[in-house]
Chain A
Amino acid sequence: DTEVTQTPKHLVMGMTNKKSLKCEQHMGHRAMYWYKQKAKKPPELMFVYSYEKLSINESVPSRFSPECPNSSLLNLHLHALQPEDSALYLCASSRLVFGQDEKLFFGSGTQLSVL
């Protein structure tokens, strides 16, 4: 299994809603990532988890709250989002120490619209 599975694929939420994005992988990867990608822009790193601990937070607003409950799962909890937070949210995973030809595996993304 070389897949990173993200759910839901599409999400529409109001500014007062609370929702969660989910990401799952079964490749034994101990590094997991959240990226945000606005339309026609490159992906931007949001968070990195290493061994289920938050290792990098790229100054992301607190209305985004990541959680890594175990080595296979990564969640992104959303609360009080703004319309400008509408974007494609990509999850990725990798080994912690990269070997030959190592790469990040990306999920298919959650397309989020905030109304």
Chain B
Amino acid sequence: ELKVEQNPLFLSMQEGKNYTIYCNYSTTSDRLYWYRQDPGKSLESLFVLLSNGAVKQEGRLMASLDTKARLSTLHITAAVHDLSATYFCAVEDSGGGADGLTFGKGTHLIIQP
């Protein structure tokens, strides 16, 4: 059974600071997703990471994937209040697609002015 663990589950930080969210998963998978969810809203896709060593950046967010360590990180640089949300990582159970995703428990991020 695929398990996906995120930490921390809750993070309160000040604007301007840097921080990293970690996502570990239990079985081999070549595809990892990061999603953002605002309260009462659906999931917004942030990144799809496809291979070992993949790194993607969008604004103040940067995601990386180490398939050997089964670890992905989401790094936040110089946080701003608008980044407050819940962030989920998710992994496919097997390669190729259409098996659905297993999500981590999510990291509830609050960025304070």
Q: Which chain A residues have a beta carbon within 8 Å of chain B's beta carbons?
A: 31, 33, 35, 40-45, 48, 50, 55-56, 58, 90, 94-98, 100-109, 111
Not counting A31-B97, A41-B105, A106-B43, a sample of 7 additional A-B residue pairs whose C-beta atoms are within 8 angstroms of each other reads A40-B106, A50-B98, A56-B99, A95-B97, A95-B98, A103-B33, A104-B101
Cα distance, A44 to B42, chains bound together (Å): 13
Q: Does B41 sit within 8 A of A, measured CB to CB?
A: yes
Which B residues have a C-beta under 8 Å from some C-beta of A? 31, 33, 35, 40-43, 45, 48, 50, 88, 96-106, 108
* With known contacts A100-B50, A102-B48, A108-B41, A45–B101 Cβ distance under 8 A: yes
Cross-chain pair count, CB within 8 angstroms: 66
Subset of 27 A-B contacts with CB under 8 Å? A40-B106, A41-B105, A42-B105, A42-B106, A43-B103, A45-B100, A45-B101, A48-B100, A56-B100, A90-B43, A94-B97, A94-B98, A96-B97, A97-B96, A98-B96, A98-B97, A98-B98, A100-B50, A101-B48, A101-B50, A102-B48, A102-B97, A104-B45, A104-B101, A109-B41, A109-B42, A111-B40
